[in-house]
Structure 1
């Protein structure tokens, strides 16, 4: 009976180890999918913001074209006036039409200049992470990058899982390098190594 019990205990331990491993993989997969969903939601929000800006610009430009069409419809009626003072009446009408035609263009330019800073004022998370890595002289983990961005941009609600997914995306695009020290993973920007490689060439030319 003791051998049977030992055998049963060994099988139970194997099952427990297998279930534990499957559970860990399941949790990691959930985290990965959740991070991808968060990244996609952020991209969707940026696209929706750009869509709103473009619609506003389209309305402003549409108003300018409508005003221009109205001016062209009024212009042909000018020659039908009496010829008592033809040379004085035509310049007045031309000045009026040019003033009304330029007004919508100025309004459209103001609308575009007012909307443009809104899109440029909020950089994407990818640009923030890549810029942070380029400023660092040592490798940084996803947790360290997330903490630095949270401190610099508290209104962005930066999540470590999203930062890790974005860093992996930069590695896939050869815009960052990944190194592993024990159980920890660190990232560095690939662009940081280019000036160092160029220095020996400059010294050789100078010599």
Structure 2
């Protein structure tokens, strides 16, 4: 049988269609693999950066890194005494046990002490520095009350301290509880004007409070 020109054209069309489809698949697969390679390279770079940061932190902490080398030496060392074990097995076992006991007793406590000492030294100056610089809230409130000639509410005291010390977070609720604590210890006096509560220093009884406030501190002191 002979092939007609129509048959050859049909075969060429099928082959060309298959080849073009295979080329498209190949190109798509290459793009996918390139994308995965780029993602893996990004992950590798980030891991390398993390490795460098962790290595620097390990050096800063004073951790000794060349520990795996002696471990390899210890693994490679046993073949030598194994030749002697054929003659004296009990003696070889005793020497190994003694060496293991000595290594366990000597090395771990030294490394633990060395690891604890720098941490304690580094933590000590951080905690002690900021405490001595700023006065406590109780001291600020007492100073403010002694400098006032009239009773002040907790909100007024809080706003005045916030203006005087903008770097500190002073809340009205905390100021109110601190004032109540000073009143309980007789380091401040409380007076009422209607539904409002005002506070004064213990020495400021006479000159300050309005008519309703003067009567109640007098009753408390009496």
TM tier, smaller: 0.3 to 0.5
- The structure having more radius of gyration, on CA atoms, is 2
TM-score normalized with structure 2 length? 0.35
TM-score normalized with structure 1 length? 0.37
Between the two structures, name the one with larger relative contact order (CA 8 Å, sep ≥ 6).
Answer: 1
